[in-house]
Structures are given as C-alpha cells and as structure tokens.
Structure 1
Amino acid sequence: MNWISCIKSYQSYLKIERGLSKNTIDNYSFDIERLCLFLTKNKIVVSPIKIGEETVQQFIYSVAKEVNPRSQARIISGLKSFFSYLIFEDYRADNPLELIETPKTGRKLPDTLSVEEIDSLIFAIDLTTNEGERNRAMLETLYGCGLRVSELVSLKISDLFFEEGFIKITGKGNKQRFVPIGDLTQKYIQIYRNTIRTHITIQKGFEDTLFLNRRGKQLTRAMIFTIIKSLAIKIDLNKTISPHTLRHSFATHLLENGADLRSIQLMLGHESITTTEIYVHLDRKFLTEVLNSFHPRK
C-alpha cells in the first residue's frame, strides 16, 4: 500500500467515521504530505507500512529546525493519529512515533482586542462600497456571536432565527449549536441582505449562503483574513490579529462582564470546558477585582 492510497483511505475514515470537517481533514493530511515530501527530498523509498522510528525521527528533527514547538507538537500528534489508524486497519503492528516525545509548549494565551480596538476596526470599514456593508455585517457577526471563521463563511440564511434571537451554527465535526444574536448584529445583517445581497447574481448552489463574494459565491476563509488584516493596517493596530482574535475577544469580554464559563463554553461550541478555561488566565486584574468584590474574607 503506497502513501497516496493510505492518505485517501485515512481521509475517508476521518470524514465518515469521525465526522471531521474538510478543514480539519486538510490539516491532518498536510502533516502526512510533509513527511512524504521529506522522504522524496532525501531519496528515501519506504512505504507507510514499513517506515520505521528512525526515519520518522529524522523527519521530526528536520521539522524542529523550521517550526516552533507548538507546530512541531501538532505535526507529531497528526502523524501519531495517522499511524494509529493504520494499526486499527491491521496494516501495521506498531506506531513509529510511539517513543517520540512531544515538545512541551506551555499554554498559549489567545490574543485579544479591547472593545475600543474592535470599534476602531469596524469604523474603518468603507461603507461607500457594497463590500463595506457586507464586511461590517461579517465583523459584527464574528465578534457578536464568537464564531470561528469557517462557521462564518458557511452561515446560511436558513440558519437565521432572528425572531427567536438565535442563529444555528454548524461547528467542528458537524456539531450544531444555537448561539444568541444581538439586535445590533441582526440590524447590520439585515442592511446587507436588503441593500446589497439582493442585487448580487447568485451562483447555483449558493442561494442560501449568507455572505457572498462579488461573483455570487461563498467567501473563502483566506478572504476574511485579508479583510481583517487590511483594516488593522488601516488603523495602525500594532497587533497580529486574525478572525479568531474576534472570537477570543468575544469570550474574554463576556467573562470580564460576569458571564459564567459554562455559558461561554456553550456559545463557543467547545466540547470540553477545559478549553474555555484558558480565558480565565487572560486578565489577572479582573480576577483580583472579582475576589475583592465577592469573597467574604476580602
């Protein structure tokens, strides 16, 4: 069994058996393809069934020179999953990464923006263009609902339940959740729908997609990154930000204003509350104020 057939079989397993999204499957596949590239570059001819620990270790050493410990840990984790699948399917008897240690990365705190910085980003949008109205609605939705960028671009008109005050989100692993949506965000989405989207020639298959590009198709994740980074440059924001920064800011601002972790977990769609707990570490000053305000021995 060669690398191409193994990778395709693995991708089918991730999609059908584990229900993972295309983006997640692409990330898993990229790690394996990187290993294949290393083998080709070094003229090492070995199948995924026969590759041994020593060869994989050489690959990890080469990766360590190019990426940070966090990326290295992700690659090791992705490859371990791939070879575990091969064991599960009885193609192999062992995992060549079994004894390879994952580098300690610590817990990375997410970057966040202040409310004022988010306002500045949104105010910098040129509303004289059709794309401006769309971009304002998108940023308000990202921040107002705490969405992942993949959830934003795949949002459907049929997912909007404005009368009930919710939108339906399809997250990782095709898991669905209902997220509350505020009046302001609803307002900007409706402005975009009524004044801009109605004049777009919509391509077949995208009639229900909420946010469209000029050609009437679904926006790419890369386009959202570009829009946000351009706005950051426009306002001289000296921070490295991405669409995920707005999601982190959403959670942090909720916590700072008294929301409980369980509610934030449900809105973000985190499977485990330990993922949500990272936001507790963001603002030590806020935690001190909570202690001083509410503890009986203050």
Structure 2
Amino acid sequence: MALVALVAGAGPGEAAPYREYEVRLHEGAAPPAGDLRSDADIINAVARLMRDKLGLSFPAVTKAYVYVNQASLVDGLLRIAGETSEEAWDKGRVAAGVATRVGIFLRGDRLAHMHLLARAGLFAHELAHVSQLKMREGGRGRAAQWILEGHADWVKFRLLDLLGMQAYATSRDEVVRSIVRSATRPKFFPGLEALTGNARWTSTTKQLGPAATYGQAFLAVDWLIERYGSAKLLEFFERFALDANPQEHWRAVFPIPYRQFVDECRARLEGPTLAPAEVSPAPAPPSFPRRP
C-alpha cells in the first residue's frame, strides 16, 4: 500500500483525509505479523491474504482514507464516497470504519487507541465489505444484513488466525462467551429473519448490544461455511451481480431451504452447546503494541 497523500490542512469546505493509502495487491506474500509496522503494512497484508487464502476480490483501485474525527469522516463519505447526508451520518456516527465502493473510511482518533490485533481486525472486516460490494456490482439487491456482517466477521477472525495473531477457535469462543454472558438471553434475541435490513440491525445493536447481532450472525455464517464451504458463500454473493430475482439466489446455491437453516441456527443458539457451563474462562488478552 502506498502513502498517497498527507494533508496537514485542507481548504475551506474540503474533506481531505490526513492519510490516504492505495492497496497494493501485487507485491508478494504478506509479511509476518511481527513485521507489520504501520497501518499501510497491515492493510496490505490483510488484503493480500484475503485474496490469496480466502478467494476474495477487490476493485481495480481500492483505497483507505483516514480522517481526524467523526465530522471529517462524515464529510469524506459525502464528498468522496458520494453518500447521502443521512447515510453518511448513520454510518459515521458510531463507526471506527466504514466500507464503500471506493474503499474504506477510517477514524484516525479511534485507530490511535487500538492495538495491532484490533486494527487488523477492523481493516479485515471493512475490506470484506468492500469485496462484497465488488461481488454484487451491477446486479439487483443485496444479501441480508446478517449474512454480510457475519461473513465480514468470519473473514476478520480467519485473517487474525492467518496472521498468527489469534487462533480462529479462540475468536469463536470469545463470540460464544459474549452471547452467553449477554444481559439479554439468546432466546430474546431477534431472529435472523428480522435482521435482514440495516435499520433493524443498527437499532438492535444499540438496544441489545453486538452479541445479539454481530455475535449471532457470525455463528450462523460459521455454521453455514462449516456445512457447505466458503466457496459456496462466495458463489451466493456473486449471484447478486446477476439481473435476476434476489429471492432465488439462496435456493440456487444451498441445498437447505432458507427457513430451515434459520430455524436450525435458532435452535443451536438456544441449545445446550451455548450453555454457560460449556464456556471456558476468558484467556488473557494478547500483548500487541498500540500504534505509536
């Protein structure tokens, strides 16, 4: 990834990022985690592993824009990504990162307080969304929000494993632990069928916490991939680029009816495999340096 611009001060009305990177996907294998010294190094390594190990594709030009704070991030979403004011504020109000068709938009003030593990996870999650946008380009509709977010977290946890930062099983255990210990019991979580749109997803996350949305969605995608493989899920995403009825895509790819899969996920979520007695104590957090 190349450092394209470092802007000390933008003119009136301009939304220039103070750091702008362009992803370089063709410069060899990703270095080990211990050699990742900058955000550019991390994003490059993450993107290459996503392409080489997980089969994900990206637009010909993919950039990362880093902004000073919330207001400048929202301004960048308006001016560079072409978001509407409502969309930009909805996405930028609480997020540390936002994915768009032109790349990822990041809050530098949030990144400054993240250690390496958290930054790598954030970059992987948002770049997964960029790839999802690329796969459905030119088509009709989009996958349900729970599938998009669950897949982005699945990619994040796989990348942390590939980088040697945290084992996938450890990440999965942490998700299970967050659900079991949630203030809201899993049987009171809204079902996956209720988490298909962004508005309900956002309101549920605010009301019940991320375990009810991100946690539940990740486990569902983890189970889906465990059963049918990640290539099938990518095939499903790619079908949204077709000029076809989006309601037909699940049936065309997966042998299990959508309703049956959702019901089975619910049963597993509320079943004994997620009982508190099955959850091991939380391990000590990994020791990674914070960004200087």
TM-score using structure 2 length: 0.24
TM-score using structure 1 length: 0.24
